[in-house]
Structure 1
Amino acid sequence: MTNHKQKLFKYTAVVALSAMSFACGGTEKNTETDQESEDMKDRIELVRDDAAKKVDVIIDGKFFTSYIYPDSLEKPVLYPINTANETAITRGWPVTPRPGERVDHPHHLGLWFNYGDVNGLDFWNNSSAIEDKTNYGHIVHKSIKSIKSGNEEGVLEVSLDWMNSTGEVLLTENTTFIFRGKDDQRTIDRIATLTAPNGEVKLTDNKEGMLGLRTARQLEHPSDKPEIFTDASGKATDVPTMNNEGITGMYKSSEGVEGNDVWGTRGSWVSLSGKINNEDISVAILDFPSNPGYPTYWHARGYGLFAANPLGQKALSNGKDELNFKLAKGESATFKYRIIIYSNESIMDGQVNRDYIEWAK
């Protein structure tokens, strides 16, 4: 077994310890619950489980997603994420592998937010597959500040620390998640405020960032050749050609760019459409106009990485633009995104743009 495979095997074994808690996400129902109490429940329930280190989100009695922060991960994530039909749009591996999935990039799990160069440290590529953490950073869940269920929305406020390998805090993150759902649509608002509490923090222009989603295999683009991708430190990961049966994904940006050409372009939103088990599904990520680096560059790959990177401008524009973002001691910056999951419909031209305009105004 090669060293690379040994690391991935070790990573899978470590993370799999958490799989029983996170795979299904939902909380078991008491079948003897009084019907009157059932009727009084909020439509959007946030169920806190400190022992399992997660918060489940249930909409109309159906599992939507979980905010999870196990010790086996290097950052908290939303995982898995489901449609209104409870179909997972996120890749299962390495927590709950599914047949036919890719096993590249073990740091790609669910929906996450971090960056590839924070004072020279790589937060993006860190995972339990990395043994020497010296040049890597990790994000630690500190507390749940507020949690609220409701009929229109559920709101979760959390506090996180971006730390180096010795425990020094470079950034504090205060994030609000707003979960909504009605009929066949689900939305997540992720509003993160980063603050530099102890000194200047440089987020140097880097390809690896910032809001990332790793999709289910069916939402990837069909691939007809093997690929090799490198991270910011030049380490290569093979992404082999795979069986394309049932692989239906297609990107489209607010600027009308489609397919793999979306990578390295700017736009206020990008959608990814496809089918899973005959269910029409589209996932859109929306960039808010007040965000640093707006309109964001898109680090969107056909193999399933769907990411918005507002700060990696030089890397993604082939040198045309550059943004070496930094925060002075005590300074803050807010990054606001919306993720929309449409199901049971093929979104028509203009649908995502109309939703974007309504949200951004």
Structure 2
Amino acid sequence: MQSIKKIQWGTAGVLLSLFCTMNTPLQAQNESVKLIRIDAENKVEVRIGDELFTAYYYPETIAKPVLYPIITAGGHEITRGFPLAPRAGERVDHPHHIGHWMNYGDVNGLDFWNNSDAIPADKKDRYGTIRHTGITDLKENKNSAELEVTMDWLAPDGKVLLKEKTRFVFSSEGKKRTIDRITTLTAQDEPISMKDNKEGVFAIRVARELEHPSNKPELFTDANGIPTTVPSLNNEGVTGKYRSSAGKEGDDVWGTRGEWVTLNGQIEKEKISVVILDHPSNPGYPTYWHARGYGLFSANPLGQKELSGGKDVLNFGLKAGESVTFNYRILVFSGENPGDGQLNSEAESFGKN
């Protein structure tokens, strides 16, 4: 159906008819991206038009700032609800997997990745914490917005090991939503060692519907030797499947390199693709992928020995005062699962930034 609006134009009484097609969903338009700072709730909301896309969330009740939730143009959350807002039928393993985050499993021997309120107090001295320290810039453009924040990577005694400056760029183009994260880490008063570790670096924990269907429980052990069982659950509505730029699919993506990986699936009637793009300037490019069928979707350029079975070794480090920058892009497609050609084009365009 079409709506015709008639506007009286000037004294001559010329009729100007404006045709507005009403059968195109609001989310399909190129809408403005807004940042709404809510200090009392420790968050900055990112809205596309009037709809929530994601929020930068930094309460001290979790061990690092996160983006949570992340929502498609069709209105579905691609991130798991647990532990912040559990949903019926989803997994409750790995409570440190929250929305989107970025950290690592071995920074001067401390585990930043696995830290959560599930760690007993007598073992907390093995874990690091990332604390939000400030919002330095908020900028709204026509179809994008930029948020710049700072964080401290802290040892258990409160010593600052790394200072982080991150710029997020959020954008909307039709039914495609984009998050760029440009993160610079600067070593402080001592050298930083980031030995090869499978727990890292740039990650999303996805909704149950985007996991791989699985008929058996699995046991995963973290870098500290702590096991976590991921039980078998009802597979109704579970539709996810990974595919990498190297042509690997499903569970075969884990421990392989690629310029991008897409996770294709469906939530209710909405086709969805969640894509992570690596950038040629990043250490370890093209990255190894720590992508698990139970819903952990992570690019890990630093854990090369663990992910390659010993074929490659990196053992990345920084001297005191030295910096490194990581640059990644998340794409969230609604209503389609783009093919390799389109994703290669997206990666090529991102690589020129």
TM-score calculated relative to the size of structure 2: 0.90
Out of 208, 212, 224, the position equivalent to 1:217 is 208
Larger-Rg structure:
2
Structure 1 segment 148-227 matched on structure 2, within 5 A: 148-227=139-218
Match of 2:85 in 1: 96
Match of 2:34 in 1: 45
Return the alpha-carbon distance in structure 2 between the equivalents of residues 349 and 297 of structure 1. Answer: 18
Match of 1:35 in 2: none
Return the alpha-carbon distance in structure 1 between the equivalents of residues 281 and 351 of structure 2. Answer: 9
Please tell me whether the aligned partners of residues 245 and 340 of structure 2 are also in contact (alpha carbons under 8 angstroms).
Answer: no
Q: CA deviation at 1:150?
A: 2.1
Q: Are positions 1:342 and 2:333 aligned together?
A: yes
Structure 1 segment 309-348 matched on structure 2, within 5 A: 309-348=300-339
Residue type at the aligned position of 1:226: P
Structure 2 unaligned segments of length 5 or more: list them. Answer: 1-30
Q: SS where residue 67 of structure 2 aligns?
A: strand
Structure 1 unaligned segments of length 5 or more: list them. Answer: 1-41
Return the alpha-carbon distance in structure 2 between the equivalents of residues 229 and 131 of structure 1. Answer: 19
Return the alpha-carbon distance in structure 2 between the equivalents of residues 231 and 185 of structure 1. Answer: 34
Q: Are positions 1:239 and 2:233 aligned together?
A: no
Off by >6 Å, runs of 4+ in structure 1: none
Q: CA deviation at 1:348?
A: 2.7
Identity over aligned pairs, percent: 59
Post-superposition CA distance 1:60-107 (Å, at most 9, x none)? 221100000001110000000000122100000111111110000000
Return the alpha-carbon distance in structure 2 between the equivalents of residues 338 and 126 of structure 1. Answer: 25
Q: Are positions 1:269 and 2:265 aligned together?
A: no
Match of 2:101 in 1: 112
Match of 1:16 in 2: none
Bigger strand share: 2
Return the alpha-carbon distance in structure 2 between the equivalents of residues 130 and 351 of structure 1. Answer: 42
Out of 67, 82, 104, the position equivalent to 2:71 is 82
Return the alpha-carbon distance in structure 1 between the equivalents of residues 72 and 273 of structure 2. Answer: 9
Aligned residues: 320
Q: SS where residue 355 of structure 1 aligns?
A: helix
Post-superposition CA distance 1:98-129 (Å, at most 9, x none)? 11100000000000000000000000000111
Return the alpha-carbon distance in structure 1 between the equivalents of residues 339 and 270 of structure 2. Answer: 16
Return the alpha-carbon distance in structure 1 between the equivalents of residues 128 and 298 of structure 2. Answer: 19
Post-superposition CA distance 1:167-211 (Å, at most 9, x none)? 000000000000001210100000000000111000111010000
Q: CA RMSD in A?
A: 0.8
Match of 2:112 in 1: 123
Post-superposition CA distance 1:210-236 (Å, at most 9, x none)? 001000000000001110001001110
Q: SS where residue 126 of structure 2 aligns?
A: coil
Residue type at the aligned position of 1:243: N
Match of 1:30 in 2: none
Q: Are positions 1:354 and 2:345 aligned together?
A: yes
Return the alpha-carbon distance in structure 1 between the equivalents of residues 95 and 340 of structure 2. Answer: 34
Return the alpha-carbon distance in structure 2 between the equivalents of residues 280 and 122 of structure 1. Answer: 36
Q: SS where residue 51 of structure 1 aligns?
A: helix
Post-superposition CA distance 1:135-186 (Å, at most 9, x none)? 1000000000101122121000001000011100000000000000121010
Return the alpha-carbon distance in structure 1 between the equivalents of residues 165 and 145 of structure 2. Answer: 17
Return the alpha-carbon distance in structure 2 between the equivalents of residues 75 and 349 of structure 1. Answer: 34
Match of 1:73 in 2: 62
Return the alpha-carbon distance in structure 1 between the equivalents of residues 249 and 345 of structure 2. Answer: 18
Return the alpha-carbon distance in structure 2 between the equivalents of residues 348 and 119 of structure 1. Answer: 41
